[in-house]
Every structure is written in structure tokens, then in C-alpha cells.
């Protein structure tokens, strides 16, 4: 004897499928932000320390503005440098997030700077521009 399918069973099945789909899409998100840094006019990136960080300009407290960062040493011969930053927790993401790259000499003097808006799913490319004092 067949049992008729009631509305409650159908709704529970649909809800379970929706939760599984959302969990799958969250799990499929990349664990980190990857990109490249180039120098203006396609020239080689000068020698120095490259500091790349994820920044939220909506945060007014400068101490908490930087979310994550990495440092890479530039030997002065590369035209592009690839980087990877850990992705922020989804609860702290802001639509105003940007990637900032700073190239500094060994004594801390700023040589070049660049930034770009972080757009999920899009490749990240930051172009460094020479700083004029």
C-alpha cells in the first residue's frame, strides 16, 4: 500500500536540498586571495621589500583597518610578482575591501605604492606607481 506524500515531507526535502546547495557553494569559495603585482609602464619592479595587505577603508580605527598581510622580497629583476593572502572571514567582509601594495627600501623609505578594489571571483592585479616626494 502506498502512503501519500504530504506537504510537510516535501517542504523538508526542499529545505534540506537548499541547505546542501548553500553549504556546497560556501565550501567552494577560495581559501585565499591570489594576484599579481606589476610596476608602472611594465618595467621591472625595483629592489626592496614588498608589503601587500588587505584593507577595509570603512574601518575608522587604523590599528584594525588591515585585515591580513604578507611580505615579499623583490630582487629588482622581476616584471611581475605573484602573491597570496588568506581570505577574511565571511562575517567581516565588506564591499569596500581593497588590496594595497607598498614597495619599501631596506631603510623603510617608500619607493612605490598601488591599490585596487577587491572583487570576488575576479583576478587581482595591483600596479605600483613611483612615489614622488
Query: Which pLDDT does position 104 carry in this prediction?
Result: 96
Phi then psi dihedrals of residue 9, to 5 deg: -65, -40
Query: Which pLDDT does position 120 carry in this prediction?
Result: 78
Query: Which pLDDT does position 51 carry in this prediction?
Result: 95
Query: Which pLDDT does position 5 carry in this prediction?
Result: 59
Fold of 31-128: Immunoglobulin-like (2.60.40)
Query: Which pLDDT does position 4 carry in this prediction?
Result: 59
Query: Which pLDDT does position 28 carry in this prediction?
Result: 44
DSSP assignment of the chain equals -PPPPPHHHHHHHHHHHHHHHHHHHHHTS-SEEEEEEEEGGGPPPPSEEEEEEEE-TT---HHHHEEEEEEEEE-S--SEEEEEEEPPPGGG--TT-EEEEEEE-TTS-EEEEEEEE--TTSPEEEEEEE---
Query: Which pLDDT does position 93 carry in this prediction?
Result: 59
Letter string b/e over residues 8-41, b meaning 16 or more CB atoms within 10 A of that residue's CB: eeeeeeeeeeeeeeeeeeeeeeeeebebebbbee
Give the residue extent of every domain in the chain.
Answer: 31-128
- Indicate the pairing of strand 98-104 with strand 48-55: antiparallel
Query: Which pLDDT does position 103 carry in this prediction?
Result: 96
Task: Please give the Cα distance from 54 to 52 (Å, whole number).
Answer: 7
Question: How many other CB atoms are found less than 10 A from the CB of residue 102?
Answer: 20
Average pLDDT, consecutive stretches of 10 residues, N- to C-terminus, the chain (133 residues): 59 53 46 88 94 88 83 94 80 75 94 91 91 85
Record the pTM.
0.70
Amino acid at each position: 500500500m502506498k502512503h501519500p506524500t504530504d506537504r510537510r515531507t516535501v517542504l523538508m526535502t526542499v529545505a534540506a536540498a537548499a541547505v546542501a546547495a548553500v553549504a556546497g557553494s560556501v565550501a567552494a569559495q577560495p581559501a585565499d586571495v591570489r594576484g599579481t603585482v606589476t610596476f608602472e609602464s611594465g618595467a621591472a619592479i625595483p629592489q626592496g621589500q614588498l608589503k601587500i595587505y588587505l584593507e577595509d577603508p570603512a574601518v575608522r580605527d587604523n590599528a584594525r583597518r588591515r585585515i591580513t598581510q604578507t611580505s615579499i622580497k623583490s630582487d629588482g629583476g622581476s616584471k611581475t610578482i605573484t602573491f597570496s593572502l588568506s581570505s577574511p572571514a565571511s562575517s567581516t567582509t565588506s564591499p569596500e575591501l581593497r588590496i594595497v601594495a607598498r614597495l619599501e627600501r631596506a631603510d623603510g623609505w617608500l619607493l612605490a605604492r598601488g591599490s585596487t578594489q577587491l572583487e570576488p571571483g575576479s583576478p587581482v592585479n595591483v600596479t605600483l606607481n613611483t612615489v614622488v616626494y
